[in-house]
Structure 1
């Protein structure tokens, strides 16, 4: 690697890692508040919903890194909520933890058959929940970093980008002029943003720019900070809405 490339990679100060965003869905206010407080004390950002319908709305607004949901809820239960997520390409690979009073072996088997990634029975140790969440997030990060060309994650992100672009189009089929906005991006940040918007994952971006995956992660973190976004989907949506991609 040339010295010029190395110089670009060391440009600017390292941005602190943004906390993982979790979505907690439970219809018991006391338990919901207690679990939220414990998770936030463990350095997670936590969105909360009192039922599955509210949870689904929050999923559309802020894509989380992981979902924690009760099973026994009015109107739409946890199994139906999980099924709805698994049928949507945007949430198909999203880690889901069942946190529920249904603790029989048959209940756990049913939960895993439905597609949950972990099953924790109430009452539970909050520390165990934190460990489960961290393990699932680390496993997802490793899988994403080691993904190869044509991985379903890349295809899913490309599909999300296409849906965002379609949402921005008017009935006439012409994309409206994005509102003016000024964000000071370095040339390398711009390059990373353009490649993220194309649906490339960090490993492929690193290969394109002849740098390390770690450096790409730093640039993506900077982009999150500068745009006020918390996920790649939010970042792409923001960039497309404000004409930041080239």
Structure 2
């Protein structure tokens, strides 16, 4: 999974930075490091990493400020970011997710868990392939999926329903997104309907893919129809 994938690791603790870098490189990733957010930002001007791992508690510019700077730049709006922090309180994690981080790993952590998180985020990014605006860059492919969804909806009554193989617990917002995907709406339309950001819609769609084991909107809608998960 790690072949030629570029990671940027930002942490002001030399020992942890070197240990994490070594473990990630042993897992096949190319890892660039910075000791603070300012240096990390400077490196981003000539690097194009596939994912950023950053500490939260850093002097001068902390992880939250660094993430805000990333999300305000169109080049990095959809770049996956993992927070590493000694602060594991629920309120801190909520603040991290609200700031736009993709995963939050409290220290001390198992390096294998970090590798699993990184691989999952990179796989998800490849699967969803989003642009800075938040929708799929291949508009033709998106249009094809929407057309397939519309076709599925016309034959809704002909699709046999069976109980889902496992109990799926969707949050109310995930259920709302699923219903709108099943109507054939694109991410921007869903964001407008739910009065949220396109990035948040992407996250909900990715979670729906993960929970249902599907890889495309068409597969997701077919799964939902087959198991009575969407009206």
For the aligned pair, the TM-score class normalised by the smaller chain equals: 0.5 to 0.7
How far, CA to CA, are the matches of 2:65 and 2:113 in structure 1?
25
Give yes or no for contact 2:10–2:55 (8 Å, CA) kept in 1.
yes
Please tell me whether the aligned partners of residues 55 and 84 of structure 2 are also in contact (alpha carbons under 8 angstroms).
yes
1:84 paired residue among 57, 69, 74: 69
Partner in structure 2 of residue 236 of structure 1: none
Gaps of 5+ in 1: 1-16, 155-199, 205-246
Question: What CA distance in whole angstroms lies between the structure 1 residues aligned with 2:111 and 2:3?
Answer: 22
| TM-score (ref. length: structure 1) | 0.53
Give the structure 2 partner of residue 67 of structure 1: 52
2:27 counterpart of 1:42: yes
Which residue number corresponds to residue 153 of structure 2?
none
Aligned residue pairs, count? 140
Higher relative contact order structure (alpha carbons within 8 Å, sequence separation ≥ 6): 1
Q: What is aligned with 2:78?
A: 93
Compared with structure 1, are the counterparts of its residues 22 and 55 closer, same or farther at alpha carbon in structure 2 (3 Å cutoff)? Answer: same
CA distance change for structure 1 residues 121 and 151 in 2, over 3 Å: closer, same or farther? closer
Within a 5 Å distance, the mapping from 1:192-211 to structure 2 comes to none
Question: Does the C-alpha gap of structure 1 residues 54 and 153 become closer, same or farther in structure 2, counting only changes over 3 Å?
Answer: farther
Shift of the 123–110 alpha-carbon distance from structure 1 to 2, 3 Å rule, reads same
CA distance in 1, matches of 2:49, 2:77: 13
* Alpha-carbon distance between aligned partners in 2 of 1:24 and 1:137, rounded to the nearest angstrom: 15
Q: RMSD of the TM alignment (CA)?
A: 2.3
SS of the residue corresponding to residue 61 of structure 1 reads coil
Aligned match of 2:5: 20
Runs of 4+ in 1 over 6 A off after TM superposition: none
Aligned mates of 2:27, 2:105 — CA distance in 1: 18
Given candidates 21, 30, 41, the residue that maps to 2:15 is 30
Question: How many Å separate the matches in 2 of 1:151 and 1:88?
Answer: 13
Structure 2 unaligned segments of length 5 or more: list them: 143-231
SS at 1:43's partner residue? coil
> Structure 2 length normalisation: TM-score?
0.57
Report if the CA contact (8 A) 2:3-2:29 is conserved.
no
How far 1:152 moved relative to its partner?
A: 4.5
Structure 1 Cα separation of the partners of residues 52 and 3 of structure 2: 17
Distance 2:33 2:107 in 1: 18
- Alignment counterpart, residue 105 of structure 1, candidates 90, 111, 130: 90
Distance (whole Å) between structure 1 residues aligned to residue 4 and residue 121 of structure 2 = 15
Q: Which residue of 2 aligns with 1:55?
A: 40
